[in-house]
Structure formats: C-alpha cells, structure tokens
Structure 1
Amino acid sequence: MHINDLLAQHRAVIRASVEVVARVRTDDLGRPTPCAEWTLAELLAHMTAQHRGFAAAARGNGSDLAAWEVRPLGASPVADYTDAAVDLLAAFASPAPEFELPEFQPVSTFPAAQAISFHLIDYVVHAWDVARSLGLDYVLPAGVADLALRIALLVPDGDNRLAPDSPFAPALTAADEADPLARILTALGRSPEWSRHGQAVRK
C-alpha cells in the first residue's frame, strides 16, 4: 500500500476517535474500560500522550522521552485530546522516513509506514474502548476494515502478551460469523461483548 493511502485511512481512524472522545463528560471519567485496570480518565491520558509521542517521532524527535510522558488530565480532557490529535495529524502529513519509538524494545526504530500502522490499529482499538466505556456502539470508518484487520492479524501473539506492559491481551477466538471489527478485537485480546456492568448501548 502506498503511504498516502495508509495516511488517508489513518486520518479516518483518528478523526473517528476524536468523535467518540467528544462524547465524554466529566462524570464519565471514573468509568471502567476494556483496558484492564484503567479508568476512562487513565485511558484518555494514555491516548493523549501517545499522540504527542508519535507526533514527536514523526518529526524526528521520538527519542525524547519527555514527549511520551503521560500527564494528569487537565480541566478540559476532551479539548486536550482533540488538540493532540490535530497536532499528530499535522506531524503525520510529512512524516520522517523512520520513527524512533522508545517504548518498543529491543528494536525501537521503524520505517514510517510500519510505525503509522502501529498507531492506526492502536486507535481502532482505543476508540472502541472509549465507546464501550460510555456504553456506545462503535463503527469502523468506511474503507478501514480490511487494512485494520490485516494489521491486527500481524501483531505477534504469545507469552509476550502476558507481560504487565503488553498493549494487547492474548488473542481470543472469534465467532464464525464475526464481522471485521469483532475479528480485530478478538485478535488483539478484546471481547466484542464487553460492557460496563451489562449496560445497554447508548445511542
């Protein structure tokens, strides 16, 4: 895939995440999420920090650990997330040929297309995480499903996913009739049936 096509699908994923996060209210921040042991506030702080870190990497400054620092939520977490997403998309418009991603070990330097793929699949999953925490449905942006599923299926499975800092749990088995989003989620250790105390989907 040409990097411009990848970037177009990545933009769609990030914009979809902004739309979901825009639904968050202050009294939602303590909600549980599909990310084990993270509240919605902690998830948003992580998502915002990752945007800042990947933006720095796209500008050739990914080795600066301060760029990846997870900061406490400010008074306007939705606005902070949106600002970080806008900055990220600006940085990705002309990305460096290689990204330094210090959180990845033992290899931390990746070609731009591979690093962008990492970020894309992370935000497919995290946008779903936010939606489910709020009791909302989440629909993949148009045209993204095939690429996102291919990326998800390339993520290595195994004992490494049992590590405390692993971004994904061990893969689950998808139902035979599962749609692409459900297959993505199960490949990355999420149950498509997750809900907060069985809460009904909020429209």
Structure 2
Amino acid sequence: MDTAPTEVRAGVSLLERAVGYALGVLPLVGEDTLARPTPCADWDLRLLLVHLLDSLDALCEAVEGQVSLDLPAARLSDAGAEQLTSAVRERCRQLVGAWSGAGRGHGTVEVDGMLLSSAIVTGTGAIEIAVHGWDLARACGAARPLPAGLAEELLELAPYFVHPTDRPGRFGAALPCEADAQAGERLLRFLGRTG
C-alpha cells in the first residue's frame, strides 16, 4: 500500500512526466549540435547538458533528505554527444527510480540550510527538467512543445518557485504573452524564453 502523502505522489508524478518529455528530446542531440547556442544565455548545448546532469544529481541527492548547492567540478565538459546523452538517460532512470521507491519522498529536504517539502523539491525539479528539455529541442532546431497537461501544471507552480531574486540570473525577465496563448508558451515566457 502506498503511504506517501498525496502531494508527494503528485510531485513525483510530475517529475516523471517532465523526465519523459526531456528523454524524448535527447535523440535530437548529435555531435554537430553540441556547440549550438541555447535559450540559456551564454550556454551552448554541451554546457546545458552538463548543467542538466548537475541538476539531476542534486535531485537524486534530495531523495536522501539533504542537498548541497556547492558547485561540482566540471565533468564531461569535453565529452561527446553519445557520452553526454547516455549519462543524462542513466541519471534520469536513477532519479525516477529513487523518487518512486517505496517509503521515499516523505518529509522535508534540506537545501543549502533551508528546509523544503519533498513536493516543492520535486515540483521545482520538474520545471527545471521540462524547460531544459525544451531548451535542448530548441537548440537542435526542433519544435517540441511542452505537453499541454504538463505545461499547465508547471505554469501553476512556477510563480511559487521562481522568486524575483532569481531574475536576472537563473531566469530572464518575464516576457509579455498573448492572453489566449497555450500553457507551454505562457510558461516559457514567464521564465524569460520565447517559443
């Protein structure tokens, strides 16, 4: 019987769907795309993949209840596309397995000295993974919109997880958006990206 709180299960489900979307984009990455610019200022596709690996590592670490935000030493910064995408796939598999494990995901996670609920951590992770999946697709020249249901849920959460002090820096300034735009477009514009 699943005894995890409803909000934790919902957060893990959201995380799994974001991972599924990002994994669907990875086959677009090839050796010829690694030097391409991304919607993340100052990052090419290779650096975005390395950053995504760091984010996945932190989310895996969070399952144990504590995350350090110390920047890791650069790794795989000279790796080829196959090595980078294989590493992302493997880390995604580990992440989903860890958060889906029996008895996992309860309580709080200490992130750089601050206590956050597991649901907040998984929700934030879902935004990070899904939006960087979109960034990867965009850098590869592919139109891979965020799935509507996933985008709607992430858009609902984003204002709670993106603090004004995150701009500029982690995110660009929110961009204007048509009132009737799809949820994915509204989410991307809220995070300073143009679709």
Q: What is the aligned partner in structure 2 of residue 198 from structure 1?
A: none
- Shift in Å, 1:151: 1.2
Q: Give the 3 Å change call, closer, same or farther, for CA 51–69 of structure 1 in structure 2.
A: farther
Q: What is the aligned partner in structure 2 of residue 85 from structure 1?
A: 92
SS at structure 2 position matched to 1:83 = helix
Q: Give the 3 Å change call, closer, same or farther, for CA 160–62 of structure 1 in structure 2.
A: closer
Whether 2:26 is the aligned partner of 1:26: answer: no
Amino acid at match of 2:18: V
Q: What is the aligned partner in structure 1 of residue 3 from structure 2?
A: none
- Shift in Å, 1:92: 1.2
In 2, Cα distance between the equivalents of 1:159 and 1:16? 28
In 1, Cα distance between the equivalents of 2:126 and 2:53? 14
Q: What is the aligned partner in structure 1 of residue 45 from structure 2?
A: 40
Q: What is the aligned partner in structure 1 of residue 134 from structure 2?
A: 128
Partner residue of 1:8 out of 1, 13, 19 = 13
Matches within 5 A, 1:1-203: 2-63=7-68, 65=70, 69-73=73-77, 74-75=79-80, 76-93=83-100, 94-102=104-112, 108-141=114-147, 143-156=149-162, 158=164, 160-162=166-168, 166-192=169-195
8 Å CA contact retained: 2:148, 2:184 = no
In 1, Cα distance between the equivalents of 2:70 and 2:96? 20
* Higher RCO (CA < 8 A, seq sep 6+): 2
8 Å CA contact retained: 1:30, 1:41 = yes
Seq. identity, %: 26
Query: Which stretch of the first structure deviates more once superposed, 169-178 or 90-99?
Result: 90-99
8 Å CA contact retained: 2:167, 2:173 = yes
Show CA shifts across 1:110-163 (max 9, x none): 11001111111112211110010001112323632321110123344535412x
8 Å CA contact retained: 1:121, 1:152 = yes
Amino acid at match of 1:13: A
- Shift in Å, 1:170: 1.3
In 2, Cα distance between the equivalents of 1:144 and 1:138? 13
Aligned length: 184
8 Å CA contact retained: 2:8, 2:106 = no
Please provide the CA RMSD for this pair: 2.1
TM-score if structure 2 supplies the norm length?
Answer: 0.84
Unaligned runs of 5+ in 1: 193-203
In 2, Cα distance between the equivalents of 1:18 and 1:150? 23
Q: Give the 3 Å change call, closer, same or farther, for CA 16–184 of structure 1 in structure 2.
A: same
- Shift in Å, 1:173: 0.9
Q: Give the 3 Å change call, closer, same or farther, for CA 133–10 of structure 1 in structure 2.
A: same
Show CA shifts across 1:20-54 (max 9, x none): 02221112100000000000000000001110111
SS at structure 1 position matched to 2:116 = strand
**Which 4+ runs in 1 deviate beyond 4 A?**
none
SS at structure 2 position matched to 1:100 = strand
